[in-house]
Structure 1
């Protein structure tokens, strides 16, 4: 799938920190406050567009039913998203700019760590993304994400709605999200699932992003996004970010050199930061050569695995309560992939719970289409599916392709 928009693409800067500077009090529902003070958003987004942004994000970041429930607004998801997108389209129209539908983490945990199923998480995203489609956004932006479960639910929902989706995670200084998710597995998983672009936003500033982008660019089949904060916030005043527009633009030059093709700013970035960034893009952007696809790149939340055509499978492992130990023990064998027999949905649940124990790519052997669909839908990563089973390839292929898995 080719990228649907012109590159390079310059996004906007911060919404929240700029609205706070414009008078938004803490503790309010941001989305409701904006609807009560539309002139504040319009002025901010027009300033970003005048500074050089090619796209603005509708301020729908927390406009899902779980986040809105904190303010008793959970039944107004569609109404709120429609009104907020209309404001951004009003700002963007004279500039012929794109409008993205901004989508936050849902704010809930799925099994086995929480009460919701993956499908219930997916429904939260689908409700908001369908409202954003109805409102007329050009793309969905899953931003400040922390887990593959949220990311995959959002990408699948955008896929169902027929909208391009950008997906970005926020990482700590160690290069992981607070959930332990790493960037390269996210890229491997989401580009196979159908994301239009993948990258990083917010985080601790531009520095940590450079190394992650450099490590990912050779595996990227989609444009990479870099949308950092304007440095680390001040310890004395968390609303103050240290990088000036010129300093921010200088840091962004390194991210462009590392492979970013879609750039913008997150917390602390003002229209002047975007103006300096736009000048840097004009002066330094270079088109990247397309990368050869990694045909056998598999992933779990915290690890990526790259295999050639020669895959040496372990002896089949059963999905028992010892599966975690079995996956650890297999590392001592002369194999490069762990073969797991998945015979039922209960087996699939055991695999999903224990997948983090592996240090080898996981190959599943499944003989039932319903079990195959459940496993690929709910596994947070990218699996390899063994074709040596009772199912015909033409039966398996549509399911495997839809979920971005590998048929071997």
Structure 2
């Protein structure tokens, strides 16, 4: 991986948008418990197509299709650790292949790593109430870090973190790799974002301060959160860290858990206008999460 000292975000960067939702738009089946990880094996060309679409839209940061990949998650379905490790590396290879199609541009490949709750397949990342020990969290994250440390990814993205405890566990897992670069993004559901808290209830400001204390941290922020809360959350982040701030919220649509469908609408043009405000508020890396598409990224690139 690229050394931490070689990663800098002095210039504004445009992140890509949703991976799983865009794969679904392309006809991929992501209904299984491993979500977009299925596509890494079943239809890798679709993963490359998504990366390519975001690069064409103006993104200069690609997150890999590895959010749902872990040894624990694979073991639950009878898949061994070697297959999980291979999927992590494969996700980096596919993003690198897409990047190679744009040789004149400086594009970062960021290994996407979801929280422990994502491997439970029950939405636990949106509350963080895990039935596991701190040592379990350290081991879970350490296994993936070890695999990716020698990959071609530029840095690691620990995403959708619901609690300060999980961030602390990741910091512990990273101690054996002092030269790696990583960013930490937390999730703030509506009922928590109102009070500027992450999903488990801790203050976002405290979580950002903890993440900043790790030598590997190159950026701190929020993801998988409603766009309307981003300005106030950026203010909290700026109060807690001097690190670059990264934000990539959802499209603005809402997930209806009972009906298992998305409700509401999303306007890429409006999303781009919001991105301009987020940049003005202090965000140096801006993109999209669930339900954002290349049009959203294109608007970000065009407006900022």
Shorter chain as normaliser: what TM range? 0.7 to 0.9
Structure 2 stretches lacking a partner, 5+ long: none
- Could you list the structure 1 runs, at least 4 aligned residues long, displaced by more than 6 angstroms after superposition: none
SS at match of 1:24: coil
Matched, 1:98 2:108: yes
Matched, 1:148 2:164: yes
SS at match of 1:78: helix
Match in the other structure for 2:241: 220
Between the two structures, name the one with larger relative contact order (CA 8 Å, sep ≥ 6). Answer: 2
Residues 5-404 of structure 1 mapped to structure 2, 5 A cutoff: 5-6=8-9, 7-25=11-29, 26-29=31-34, 30-75=36-81, 76-95=83-102, 96-107=106-117, 116-161=132-177, 162-173=179-190, 174-175=192-193, 176-194=197-215, 195-203=217-225, 205-233=226-254, 235=256, 238-239=261-262, 242-281=265-304
RMSD: 2.3
Q: TM-score by structure 2 length?
A: 0.84
SS at match of 2:160: strand
Deviation at 1:35, TM superposition (A): 1.8
Q: TM-score by structure 1 length?
A: 0.63
Deviation at 1:19, TM superposition (A): 1.1
Paired with 2:80 and 2:274, the residues of 1 have a C-alpha distance of: 40
SS at match of 1:128: helix
Structure 1 stretches lacking a partner, 5+ long: 282-408
SS at match of 2:254: coil
Paired with 1:92 and 1:150, the residues of 2 have a C-alpha distance of: 31
Paired with 2:285 and 2:204, the residues of 1 have a C-alpha distance of: 16
Deviation at 1:67, TM superposition (A): 2.0
Paired with 1:240 and 1:114, the residues of 2 have a C-alpha distance of: 28
When Rg is computed on C-alpha atoms for both structures, the one with the higher figure is 1
Distance 1:150 1:197, change over 3 A: same
